[in-house]
Structure 1
């Protein structure tokens, strides 16, 4: 009687996929793999960031009230302190007078990783002393983990970690979440989930607020 011969072709497809994902998970590469797939999705242009067509106090009030964030004469995030990857503490209020692009992310978040290359492109095109980028990591593994990730990717946008209690205004049910804050310190746009930011609409919106 002929013995049954083992063949790769006889392995079910789901078992192969499960094995591949298991290997990626054990090696810590699953986040990168998922992020790469989501990056391809962003490249299709189907997930463009939603920004207002005009800046007005009415639009700001409507956005704030719909999200349950109290309007205030003071800057959002007042009192919040951050620390950069060199260990320098920065007061969020010190950025008042600039347009702020605030992105809340983490190294373990595939959608965050997916959108970072196009945020870097946006930063390269519009980053200036009048437009501040705040890439705020909420990793709990410490600064070394975040710094290692940023250095490996070669990103040059400013990266920070919280150094005080997280402001209520920046709470969100999703990660990543991105806020655009006017020079007056008001939230004028909010995007929950990954999106493509290196678009003409976003560039024009940011530069249109520069004073």
Structure 2
């Protein structure tokens, strides 16, 4: 089959830490489960994905985090799934091991001032680190798509920032354009549709400030202090 006709990306549903960030200091991030609402969100997303697939098979790549696996399970895609591959490179941005909420809040303020792409959490990753690993993941995808038996659809069950960085890498967006984008909401879908050998994104990410995919640091006000 070759490259899929559509690549569907899903952010996981609402997690327990979205309701109570304090649990980060006692539960590893990758073990934090969905809430009841998160399960319902993923179930509704599954209905939308089934309509998109229209009876066709899909290969699933899922983040190893519990909330991603639970989202996939709640989607109830059944026999539409050709295979499921757990893919660590689709994980959430690493912030820390056990997270101290006060320290993370302070680092988030620094990140907002410094920039989300380049700021590296003291025990974790920068956005640019995630960009590098999703770039490596894309190389793996191209090898998979070189095989004739690949199904006509792919599904990534992942995280908000990872989705933005996948699209940044795919469409060669600039750093400043990435900085202008908001994460999708929980259990929201973005789809890359293939036509005439290239892909387009069905729904753009919302922006909190104006920028274009070609905006660079040269276009920003220059300040020396």
Common fold by TM > 0.5: no
Q: TM-score, normalised by structure 1?
A: 0.31
Q: Specify the structure having the higher radius of gyration (Cα).
A: 1
Q: TM-score, normalised by structure 2?
A: 0.29
